[in-house]
Structure 1
């Protein structure tokens, strides 16, 4: 057996050599004079090496303790090398808490998402999950714990949000399992225990007079001017709320009456599934330009048209528009996405021959690829005409956009 004296007095040679202890433990003396503890063992029919660190920083006694621990792992059917890697991961992830591992997972994946989706992912976890389970060791979290976080979200009527958050939690647990820091995915277990969703279209007011009334009521509520202007521009353009919320000022250059939305912003993933996907063009009516100009006086110095009130480098939450509609009395009657249905219903009723053009304005993909290619190349002038007609209809009797910069009208 090796002694501490022998280890200390071992001198470098022209080639590296080994001083053996017992149980596979040995000290490698490098040609440079450095000394490293290693253990030779077999696992799965293969010979492997495990390092314990340099001598004399790691003493002979400490190396033997590490060897004994590795042999205990081998008797339990575990590979000591894998166990060592897991310990390193846990060290990187601090206490192995849900929040720490979730942030690690987020950092790994955020580069594959557009900014709006990435922001929504981390903000939803920060708001709904981290305050409750963030500090809990991920191995100790049960399905009941996960469900306890999701139930309050469901009870306030945000069932779809609860389902998205469950999916994100599940992805974190799967990541933890794959990296050896969790044994199962409790978020997957609660999927069928969640409140059922009512199938069907999202609530929307499709009567023109009622839609005008709704917009006027919402704009009379006490709210941040950016939120009010976002609601108006959403109603005028009928784009998807998430697309609008993440709009950079670069897409709205002063003097332009055409909004060009890059293809990758029309989807959550950076890689678009459709190789033929192209930018979406939104004609801007006179009233839309007025609203954008009013907005520019508030947020025009920053990169985002609709910045988050607390974090200017992040886009506003599209939920802000929904909350404004709720306060105006339209909970479960009309959602931000419902403006697309309002626009479609009103304009198709008045201009039936223009249905293909209206669908194009909503960025609805035609089932016929030949028709899709044809529509991309035509109809821009008609789309501009319809956008102005719609703006005149929905804002009939409405106050100027500049008035939205001040308090509510009494």
Structure 2
């Protein structure tokens, strides 16, 4: 030890012999002296060297211990150099195993909520920006299934969830949610780390929603307003408009539909277009001189890349409705401006207003905050919605003997084969204009109660 401490920089390159095959080379680096020790041994007839450490970074006792281990390995027929590599590999493997076990634990802890968070961002892209899915999962699925680990998710969890929603009178919501959860889990089955957590299968495949819904349930609504109900609706609007001011002062809240909402419903009936598309209308898209209403592709329903602009021709009936609306909201850029923010009203505003005024058909456990709830818009024994007016108008066209393809085109439905859509590009503008005009005449006759005017000459249009 004293000799090692006495080494000077002038000894650079000298070799020190420690015995037993251990020797050290003196090195100097930036004025610092060190000794690199190696153990010499014969392997397969040749001299080989095994590094044992560098003094003073490694104590000489440790260096000699390393020499002794190497010598014992040589005696047992093991190359100490290979053994050193093997030890490093084993150490690295141990580290990797610790990491693997930790990753497995974190993977096994992934929950339904974790899966939903990844899927909603990377696994699904709906035309509404996934707004409906976020609302549906946020209200029904996440509160119930949030903390359930994906590997522990069972068909019973899903079945109980759907039954709970159905019991609350929201069968359609349960059906749609079952489809969306099924889509999410099928997406997960094909991807890491989720597929490893579903080794026992996809629980959604084991739940048949048809077995859970009430007998006779059908998603397809067939509700349409009869002529008598259309007339009754007009009377309701007339009566409530006259009593609006006094009722509002009496109750302190709005108890009837605003005029703008009434007009929106007549426009749905007279144009066959969706309430959500209508409520996003800007006045720059309504041309009173040309009697047209333009709907940009971005505002229409459909898949990305397949939506296109729409041009609706206004009948006297729908033109008059837009004129009445313009007298109310013409100072805004929007036909249906929002009350407390820039832009248009919420697309669900009118639907909520109509539903709230048919509360007898709802199964609400409590009164909704800041919402009017009464039965002032009840028509018959079945609830109706703004979308049912679209069906009603289409059926009136059908009764006028208008060609069904023209009716579908008026509704912005896709018709014909893919080849037809590529090569047959006529938009049947004249035929659609005539169809809308006939519907408008029919509605005016109905609302006047003039049975003679209701006998409209049918279209004789054929579409190849």
Short-chain TM bin? 0.5 to 0.7
Number of positions where the alignment pairs a residue of Structure 1 with one of Structure 2: 318
Q: Please tell me whether residue 360 in structure 1 is matched to residue 409 in structure 2.
A: yes
CA-CA distance at 1:102 after TM superposition: 0.9
Q: 1:194 to 1:338 in 2, by over 3 A?
A: same
Show the counterpart of 1:205. 224
Deviation at 1:172, TM superposition (A): 2.5
- The residue aligned with 2:309 is 279
Is the contact made by 1:98 and 1:134 (CA closer than 8 Å) also made in structure 2?
yes
- 1:106 and 2:140 aligned: no
Q: 1:258 to 1:99 in 2, by over 3 A?
A: farther
| 2:402–2:435 contact (8 Å) kept in structure 1 | no
1:386 pairs with 2:438: yes
CA pair 335-191 structure 1, distance change in 2 beyond 3 A: farther
CA contact (8 A) 1:174 1:185 kept: yes
Which residue among 153, 167, 189 is the counterpart of 2:165? 153
Which residue is equivalent to 2:378? 329
1:382 Cα deviation from its structure 2 partner: 2.0
Cα distance in 1 between the residues matched to 2:237 and 2:207: 37
Q: Distance in 1 between matches of 2:188 and 2:135?
A: 20
Give 1:169 deviation, angstroms: 1.3
Alpha carbons 2:354, 2:385 under 8 Å: kept: yes
Q: What value does the CA root-mean-square deviation take over the aligned residues?
A: 4.3
Query: CA shift at 1:136, angstroms?
Result: 3.0
Match of 1:47 in 2: none
Three-state SS of the structure 1 residue aligned to 2:398 is: helix
Are residues 1:236 and 2:270 paired? yes
Tell me, which stretches of 5 or more residues in structure 2 are unaligned? Answer: 1-52, 59-82, 241-253, 330-334, 360-376, 450-464
Q: Which residue of 1 aligns with 2:348?
A: 316
TM-score normalised by length of structure 1: 0.61
Tell me if structure 2 keeps the 8 A contact 1:206–1:342.
Answer: yes
CA contact (8 A) 1:154 1:162 kept: yes
Distance 1:251 1:190, change over 3 A: farther
- Residue 345 of structure 1: how far off its partner (Å): 2.7
Cα distance in 2, alignment partners of residues 136 and 209 from structure 1:
52
Unpaired segments ≥5 residues, structure 1: 11-17, 27-37, 40-63, 71-79, 308-314, 398-410
TM-score scaled by length of structure 2? 0.55
User: Within 2, Cα distance between the matches of 1:298 and 1:305?
Assistant: 4
d(CA) in 2 for partners of 1:332 and 1:283?
32
Assess if the C-alpha contact under 8 Å between 1:249 and 1:303 holds in 2: no
**For 2:255 and 2:424, how far apart are their aligned partners in 1?**
43
Residues 191 and 216 (structure 1), Cα distance of their counterparts in 2 relative to 1, 3 Å cut: farther
